[in-house]
Structure 1
């Protein structure tokens, strides 16, 4: 029996848009939790291929596919690409492209470079 933990961790960037609203986190099409502005969420998962998406009301992120190995920890970041002058286009985005209102991406592993 392997005692290594296998999970994902999602962090949500803090931003003005949707500040008071939680994002639903969906894994394989099922809601598994809610993440607040600036918050983090840990989800224990079985190894294998999964899809992840975040959602607020009818607006969503694109679906992101990932593979989780036994004992692996993957980190993701989510938020809304709508900031700055794009706030002026929020109504258009919500109505015309609701699947682009939010984003979720896998965080790159940071490696230290030694010189």
Structure 2
């Protein structure tokens, strides 16, 4: 028996990155998930890493452990910048520091 990894690309509200996300499991391209869709991928029980990519943007690498017969579920979306964007109206210097390189 094996375990299952379920990825869902779903957001609430405005989605800036509408493209297909690429799922990297243990550093290898393992599948693609489109906006408002889910994918299921069989994985071996044990320790794994997961990273989501969209062009040059990528998530932090997440480590998860899964046992035989279990399902590990993750939701991915590109909405993390919205609270910073809204906060920049109250603290304008924050917007400048985000764009400076």
Task: Give the TM-score of the pair, scaled to structure 2.
Answer: 0.75
**Higher relative contact order (CA closer than 8 Å, sequence separation 6+):** 2
Once superposed, which parts of structure 1, at least 4 consecutive aligned residues long, lie more than 4 Å away?
none
Q: What per-residue deviation string (whole Å, max 9, x for no partner) do you get for residues 28-73 of structure 1? A: 0001111111110101000010000100112100000001101111
Gaps of 5+ in 2: 89-94
1:33-112, aligned counterparts within 5 Å?
33-80=31-78, 81-83=80-82, 86=85, 92=98
Aligned length, in residue pairs: 89
Where 1:76 maps in the other structure, the secondary structure is strand
Q: Structure 1 residues 86 and 52 mapped into 2: Cα distance closer, same or farther (>3 Å)?
A: same
Question: What is the CA–CA distance in structure 2 between the aligned matches of 1:65 and 1:57, rounded to whole Å?
Answer: 22
Task: Give the TM-score of the pair, scaled to structure 1.
Answer: 0.66
Report if aligned partners of 2:15, 2:77 keep a CA contact under 8 Å in 1: no
| C-alpha RMSD over aligned residues | 2.3
Question: What is the CA–CA distance in structure 1 between the aligned matches of 2:4 and 2:83, rounded to whole Å?
Answer: 34
Give the CA deviation at 1:85: 6.4
Give the CA deviation at 1:16: 2.5
Larger Rg belongs to:
2
